[in-house]
């Protein structure tokens, strides 16, 4: 698998987000050319989402295809008031990948995509540049969690770790992990609403 | 919100993805029946979704765009309401697919539309595409209302040993499905079996193919669910 990264121009500015929203509007009107443009602008981010969870190239490709079919079908439901176009699309891709990974088998720590360093890459997005106000707010709230609990949330989000996988990772009972998650998620919600 | 704290936490875990397989499946079933639960999941997805947007990109190993476009086309509605242009696009696509599968079947379809087309105000030529899905052609039925003539051409319909394909006309006014006869898988089937039906019935009907014992249904009724169905589309130049 190639791990060469593409710069997602779509995420670089609010103006680009507006472009994606316009493209989604045209896709909702069944504009095939707009769909192709949307795919080109976003597929590397969406593949990044599914490949981190599924780890196997064939399963990732399948999930990516299913996600874009769903985006085509659901484009009319996108609501800019509830989030950015890319966040909406990436969530669709992520849900496809989660359904698939829960169907196949528990996530294994050993199965990493080639050239992947999750500890450096997915566990510390706090170092990344905030791309939107929503992301900035979420990162600030994540930053207020204890380091272990923040890592658990991020491993779940980016790598699709289940409670059991997190328990193995942190050497803690599953019940403890559940308690961590509950406290962390409620703390996040309160922080985002404050 | 009347959602219990436990359910709200489960919605959060569903959105985060930490539920085990059986819990996830159970919860997915519940959200379909419980709008509040569904709304809670969506709210949690929205809270966390900026993280998805911030995911570092990875270039896929190959370009999936054309495969995705093919899936979208395959999921498109059947051609019943389409104009003839869309039908011709479909036929040409099927032709391309059929050439890959069987050259003989493809030859049956080539030029079909052009030959059957007539230029009249009220179309008398109709075709029905009997298909499992948009990309799996099976039979092309053409009907000339002026003569009551029906012809059925197999297009990449796999023959089944010891079985026959039987064509049926289905329309509420007729009550039960009526047999239009057994389709000869090896050649074009022709007959004048439609003369007995009203024109409006013939135009509005659904046409279906079932798999029957060799020689056709023994009791004049379909033995099982249709394997291919389609509606008529007028053929206009």
Q: What confidence tens digit (pLDDT) does each residue in A126-150 have?
A: 434 435 788 888 988 998 999 899 9
Domain annotation covers residue B63: no
| Chain B residues lying within 8 Å of A1, measured CB to CB | 61
Q: Does the pLDDT value for residue A61 go beyond 50?
A: yes
Q: Where are the alpha helices (DSSP H) in B56-120?
A: 65-74, 84-101, 103-109, 112-116
- The CATH code that applies to domain A124-194 is 1.10.10.10
- Does B96 share its domain with B19? no
Q: Does the pLDDT value for residue A92 go beyond 80?
A: yes
Q: How many CA atoms lie within 13 A of B42 on its CB side?
A: 14
Please name the residue that has the structure tokens 């911030």: B54
Helices A147-159 & A174-193, crossing angle to 10 degrees? Answer: 90
Closest Cα of chain B to A96: distance in Å? 11
Please name the residue that has the structure tokens 């190959």: B62
Q: In whole angstroms, give the CA distance from residue B44 to residue A85.
A: 17
Lowest mean pLDDT among B79-83, B113-117, B202-206: B113-117
B57: DSSP letter: P
CA A24 to chain centre: 19
First to last CA, chain B: 60
Domain annotation covers residue B97: yes
- Does B116 share its domain with B190? yes
Lowest mean pLDDT among A31-45, A54-68, B96-110, B198-212: B96-110
Q: In whole angstroms, give the CA distance from residue B160 to residue B140.
A: 18
- Would you call B13 and A181 a contact, using CB atoms and an 8 Å cutoff? yes
Name the pLDDT band for B41 (thresholds 50, 70, 90): very high
Q: Does the pLDDT value for residue B5 go beyond 60?
A: yes
Count structural domains, chain B: 2
pLDDT of amino acid A3? 42
* Nearest-Cα residue of chain B relative to residue A105: B21
Q: In whole angstroms, give the CA distance from residue A107 to residue B10.
A: 20
- Does B127 share its domain with B213? yes
Q: Does the pLDDT value for residue A95 go beyond 80?
A: yes
Q: Give the pLDDT mean for B205-229.
A: 80
Q: Does the pLDDT value for residue B232 go beyond 60?
A: yes
Q: A12 by DSSP, 3-state: which?
A: coil
Domain annotation covers residue B188: yes
- Would you call B53 and A90 a contact, using CB atoms and an 8 Å cutoff? yes
Q: Does the pLDDT value for residue B166 go beyond 50?
A: yes
Domain span at residue B19 reads 5-53
pLDDT of amino acid A154? 92
- Would you call A164 and B61 a contact, using CB atoms and an 8 Å cutoff? no
| Chain A residues lying within 8 Å of B44, measured CB to CB | 185
pLDDT of amino acid B151? 73
pLDDT of amino acid A156? 94
- Does B14 share its domain with B83? no
pLDDT of amino acid B131? 65
Cα angle A87, A148, A154 (rounded to 5 degrees) comes to: 15
Domain annotation covers residue B73: no
pLDDT of amino acid A153? 93
Q: B212 by DSSP, 3-state: which?
A: strand
- Does B115 share its domain with B223? yes
Q: In whole angstroms, give the CA distance from residue B52 to residue A50.
A: 10
Which of A49, A139, A192 faces B52 most closely, judged by CB atoms?
A: A49
- Structure tokens, A180: 């961590």
- Does B114 share its domain with B222? yes
Greatest mean pLDDT among A8-17, A112-121, B71-80, B210-219: B210-219
- Where exactly does CATH 1.10.1740.10 map onto chain A? 1-105
Which of B16, B49, B75 faces A87 most closely, judged by CB atoms?
A: B49
Lowest mean pLDDT among B57-61, B199-203, B204-208, B231-235: B231-235
| Chain A residues lying within 8 Å of B59, measured CB to CB | 2-6, 44, 47
Q: Which of B39, B54, B38, B9 is nearest to A137 (CA)?
A: B54
Q: Give the pLDDT mean for B179-203.
A: 69
CB A180 within 8 A of CB A154: no
- Does B93 share its domain with B201? yes
Class of domain A1-105: mainly alpha
* Nearest-Cα residue of chain B relative to residue A36: B65
- Would you call A189 and B47 a contact, using CB atoms and an 8 Å cutoff? yes
- Does B19 share its domain with B131? no
Which of B24, B45, B53 faces A131 most closely, judged by CB atoms?
A: B53
Q: Which of A70, A67, A176, A80 is nearest to A134 (CA)?
A: A80
| Chain B residues lying within 8 Å of A91, measured CB to CB | 45, 49, 52
Q: In whole angstroms, give the CA distance from residue A177 to residue A191.
A: 21
| Chain A residues lying within 8 Å of B65, measured CB to CB | 36, 39-40, 43
CB B181 within 8 A of CB B173: no
Lowest mean pLDDT among A65-69, B20-24, B42-46, B114-118: B114-118
- Does B92 share its domain with B40? no
Domain annotation covers residue B68: no
Which of A39, A60, A157 faces B65 most closely, judged by CB atoms?
A: A39
Cα angle A86, A48, A81 (rounded to 5 degrees) comes to: 15
Closest Cα of chain A to B17: distance in Å? 6
- Structure tokens, A37: 């443009």
- Does B151 share its domain with B223? yes
pLDDT of amino acid B110? 29
Please name the residue that has the structure tokens 């669709």: A92
- Would you call B49 and A88 a contact, using CB atoms and an 8 Å cutoff? yes
pLDDT of amino acid B235? 59
Domain annotation covers residue B69: no
Name the pLDDT band for B135 (thresholds 50, 70, 90): low
More confident: A5 or B68? B68
Q: Tally C-beta pairs within 8 A across A and B.
A: 171
Q: Does the pLDDT value for residue A90 go beyond 80?
A: yes
More confident: B223 or B101? B223
Q: Which of A6, A119, A116, A123 is nearest to A56 (CA)?
A: A116
Please name the residue that has the structure tokens 């999936």: B64
Name the pLDDT band for B154 (thresholds 50, 70, 90): low
Mean predicted lDDT score pLDDT of chain A? 80
Question: How big, in percent rounded to 5, are the helix, strand and coil portions of chain B?
Answer: 40, 20, 35
Q: Does the pLDDT value for residue B184 go beyond 60?
A: yes
Please name the residue that has the structure tokens 């680009």: A16
Q: Give the pLDDT mean for A88-108.
A: 81
- Would you call B58 and A192 a contact, using CB atoms and an 8 Å cutoff? no
- Does B102 share its domain with B37? no
Which of A1, A8, A160 faces B61 most closely, judged by CB atoms?
A: A1
pLDDT of amino acid A189? 96
Residues on B contacting A at a C-beta cutoff of 8 Å: 9, 12-13, 16-21, 24-25, 44-62, 64-65, 67-69, 71-72, 75
User: ipTM of this complex > 0.85?
Assistant: no
Task: Report the percent of chain B where pLDDT is more than 70.
Answer: 60
* Buried-exposed string A160-183: b where 16+ CB fall within 10 A, e elsewhere: bbbbebbbbbbeeeeeebbebbbe
Name the pLDDT band for B43 (thresholds 50, 70, 90): very high
- Does B33 share its domain with B136? no
């Amino acid at each position: 698998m190639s791990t060469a990264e593409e710069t997602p121009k779509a995420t670089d500015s609010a103006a680009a987000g507006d472009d994606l929203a316009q493209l989604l509007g045209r896709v909702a009107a069944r504009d095939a050319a707009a769909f192709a443009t949307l795919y080109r602008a976003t597929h590397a981010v969406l593949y990044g989402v599914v490949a981190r969870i599924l780890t196997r190239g064939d399963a990732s490709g399948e999930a990516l295809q299913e996600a874009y079919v769903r985006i085509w079908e659901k484009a009319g439901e996108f609501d800019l008031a509830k989030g950015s176009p890319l966040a909406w699309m990436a969530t669709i891709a992520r849900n496809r990948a989660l359904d698939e990974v829960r169907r196949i088998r528990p996530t294994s720590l050993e199965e990493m995509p080639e050239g992947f360093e999750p500890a450096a890459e997915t566990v510390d997005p706090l170092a990344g540049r905030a791309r939107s106000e929503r992301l900035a707010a979420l990162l600030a709230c994540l930053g207020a969690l204890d380091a272990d609990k923040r890592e658990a949330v991020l491993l779940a989000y980016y790598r699709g770790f289940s409670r059991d996988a997190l328990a193995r990772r942190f050497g803690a009972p599953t019940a403890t992990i559940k308690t961590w998650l509950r406290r962390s998620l409620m703390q996040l919600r309160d922080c985002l609403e404050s | 919100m009347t959602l219990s704290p436990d359910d709200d936490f489960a919605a959060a875990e569903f959105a985060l993805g930490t539920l085990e397989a059986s819990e996830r499946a159970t919860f997915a079933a519940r959200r379909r029946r419980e709008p509040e639960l569904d709304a809670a999941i969506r709210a949690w997805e929205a809270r966390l979704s900026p993280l998805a947007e911030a995911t570092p990109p990875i270039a896929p190993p190959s370009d999936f765009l054309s495969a995705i476009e093919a899936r979208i086309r395959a999921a498109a509605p059947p051609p019943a309401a389409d104009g003839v242009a869309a039908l011709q696009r479909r036929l040409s696509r099927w032709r391309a697919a059929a050439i890959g599968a069987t050259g003989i079947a493809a030859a049956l379809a080539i030029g079909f539309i052009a030959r059957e087309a007539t230029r009249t105000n009220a179309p008398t030529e109709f075709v029905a595409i009997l298909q499992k899905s948009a990309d799996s052609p099976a039979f092309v039925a053409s009907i000339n209302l002026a003569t009551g003539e029906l012809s059925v051409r197999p297009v990449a319909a796999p023959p089944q040993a010891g079985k026959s394909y039987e064509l049926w006309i289905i329309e509420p006014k007729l009550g039960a499905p009526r047999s239009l006869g057994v389709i000869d898988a090896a050649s074009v089937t022709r007959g004048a079996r439609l003369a007995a039906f009203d024109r409006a019935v013939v135009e509005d009907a659904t046409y279906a193919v079932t798999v029957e014992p060799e020689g056709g249904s023994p009791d004049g009724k379909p033995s099982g669910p249709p394997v291919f169905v389609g509606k008529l589309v007028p053929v206009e130049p």
